[in-house]
Amino acid sequence: MTRQSPGGENRTMIPLLLDCDPGIDDAVALGYLMCQEDVEVVGIAASGGNVPTAQTALNALSWLELAGRGDLPVHPGAELPLAAADGTFGAPPLYADTTHGPSGTGHAVLPSPRTTPSDISAAEAWVDAARAHPNELIGVVTGPCTNLALALELEPDLPQLIKRVFIMGGAFNYRGNTKPTTEWNIDHDPEAAARVFSGFASAQHRPVVGPIEATEAIVMTPDRISRILHGTSDPQWHNWLEHLAEALRFYFEFHAADGHGYLAQLHDPYVLAAGLQWARNPACTGGIPWAKTALAAVDVELQGSLTRGETVADWLGRWGAAPNAELIRHVQAEDFLHHLETTLMKGPTYDHAR
């Protein structure tokens, strides 16, 4: 679709829906998104994951308003994972307060937003956006897949309506960051991820999945966030980045306590950026930007007493199933980090944001 820019020229716009659970690296992804001049953000869906749904919606509203984008709708997602909601598993969901802080914003204290969440649920927002932008919408999921799975129930033709879905999640033949073999986003709602992998097997473009064995190479350091802070000249954006730096300070401390060093693994911004770069040139023979990928049939373990939530790729074709996902196996981390740094340093174009 096209839209007229502030200068009067017509610009091809990318319609995008971001389903996130802010969360510190989700906040970095939101900041990156605010800096994109050719993206029509049709909505932000808030999922429970890093913190409960009500808090992720509040965090999204606060980060957006602080960035001058309080006009963007934030759609509240389901309060519980699918299996908890239907009583299959009685245990309450776990949240990542030790990783992201009790409120999901680390050490950052965000101003209370003046806006409130939309009356339209996250699942309904997925369906509405796909119907409004058939075969144009880019969907990015940086939290659990709960909302997208519920949207599939509302509209089974969703895989044919969305241009492509990009998902941050999973650990394929790799140690987990939740249980020994599971990654947080998938482990929080395994049933939802399984439904999405199955449902989108019929999509024209296979979902792109960024698992932790690839995305943990995207490392933010104190030096890099300091360069970003000192490289921006817009006072409003500098204020946003100062809050982000405080959030990241908590993330640095967590990673140091976990044995990784005083740094922060930023899983979510890469998956969002790869989706946008692919959308700008889907016919590119280079494939997914900054990445080496592989096609595989994938599924999620739902029963194992030790492995529930583990993502499994059938590399040898033993299932006899066609590939239903494109998995990111390696990321050119420094190239992407340079791109992320320069993008955040540039900041949003505020007159375009309105």
pLDDT digits (tens, 9 = 90+) for 31-85: 999 999 999 999 999 999 999 999 999 999 999 999 999 999 999 999 999 999 8
Which among 21, 26, 268, 299 is annotated as catalytic?
21
Confirm whether pTM is higher than 0.85: yes
The string of pLDDT tens digits covering residues 122-180 is: 999 999 999 999 999 999 999 999 999 999 999 999 999 999 999 999 999 999 999 99
Q: Give the residue ranges of DSSP H helices in 115-181.
A: 122-132, 146-154, 158-161
In whole angstroms, what is the distance from residue 288 CA to residue 331 CA?
Answer: 10
Residue 223 lies in a domain: yes
267 is catalytic: yes
Cα separation values, 152 from 22, 45, 145, 159, 309, Å: 23, 15, 11, 8, 20
Q: Is the pLDDT of residue 7 over 80?
A: no
Q: Provide the Cα torsion 313, 314, 320, 326; round to 10°.
A: 50
Nearest alpha-carbon partner for 26 in 3, 44, 14: 44
Residue 1 lies in a domain: no
First to last CA, the chain: 18
Query: CA 234, CA 236: separation in Å to the nearest integer?
Result: 6
Asked whether residue 2 is domain-assigned, the answer is no
Flag whether 102 is in a domain.
Answer: yes
The Cα–Cα gap between 272 and 167 comes to 9
Catalytic residue (choose from 75, 188, 267, 339): 267
Residue 3 lies in a domain: no
75 included as an active-site residue: no
Cα-Cα-Cα-Cα torsion 43, 47, 50, 54, nearest 10 degrees, comes to 100
Distance CA 73, CA 100 (A): 23
With respect to residue 324, please indicate whether it lies within any of the assigned structural domains. Answer: yes
Which residues make Cβ contacts (< 8 Å) with residue 83, sequence separation at least 6? 89, 189, 190, 191
Round the CA-based radius of gyration of the chain to a whole number and report it. 19
Residue 74 in domain: yes
Number of domains present in the structure of the chain: 1
Per-residue model confidence as pLDDT tens digits over 221-261: 999 999 999 999 999 999 999 999 999 999 999 999 999 99
User: Can you give the CATH number for the domain in which 38 is found?
Assistant: 3.90.245.10
Question: Quick one: which of 318, 219, 309, 223 has its CA closest to 270?
Answer: 219
Map tokens 């955040």 to a residue. Answer: 344
Note down the domain range covering 240: 8-353
212 domain residue, yes or no: yes
- Please, is 204 exposed, middle or buried when counting C-beta atoms within 10 Å of its C-beta (0-12, 13-18, 19+)? exposed
